[in-house]
Amino acid sequence: MSTHRQYRGPRLSPRRTISTPEGALLCDINTTPLIDVMLVLLVTLIVSLPLMTHAVTLNLPQAAPIAPNVRPEVIELSIDFDGTVAWNGATLASWQQLENNLHSEAQKIPQAHIHLFPDRLVKYGVVARVLAAAQRNRMQQIELAATARFED
């Protein structure tokens, strides 16, 4: 009968050591699984690349070219303290007139820039109403001008 050594549990070591016949320790990493995984990833990449190179043809709308030297018109919208709106100095009679002016300006190419000059005592609701009208009519360039006068 052969004698068995007593079991002392698993040996936990960070790397596998193999003793050679000469007594020197040999520390090796088995690279075969790493190479196998790399080859599988390489084959997957090679197979999937032709699928990604197919082009999708889209018919996109073409915008009319704008001359680079054409400066857009600047519209000065001023809002007085009592809520009256002036379009380039001319007082507007109604909100509908403001809507009509904004709608006609939105159709032009290039669109006009709106410089908004609210009075510092005007209620914000009036300014918000003017901004909402500009947004509804798809105006793209709106600037609050002369904001330095609001600082105390």
User: For the chain, which residues make up each domain, given as ranges?
Assistant: 17-50, 74-150
Residue-wise pLDDT tens digits, 34-76: 999 999 999 998 887 776 666 778 888 888 776 677 788 899 9
Q: Nearest CA to 113 among 72, 146, 68?
A: 72
Confidence band, pLDDT 50/70/90 cuts, at residue 126: very high
CA distance linking residue 25 with residue 139, whole number of Å: 79
Name residue, tokens 């915008």: 63
Residue 134, judged by CB atoms within 10 A of its CB (0-12, 13-18, 19+), counts as buried
Residue-wise pLDDT tens digits, 106-119: 998 888 999 999 98
Cα maximum dimension of the chain: 117
**Region 74-150: CATH code:** 3.30.420
Q: Which amino acid does the sequence have at 25? A: L
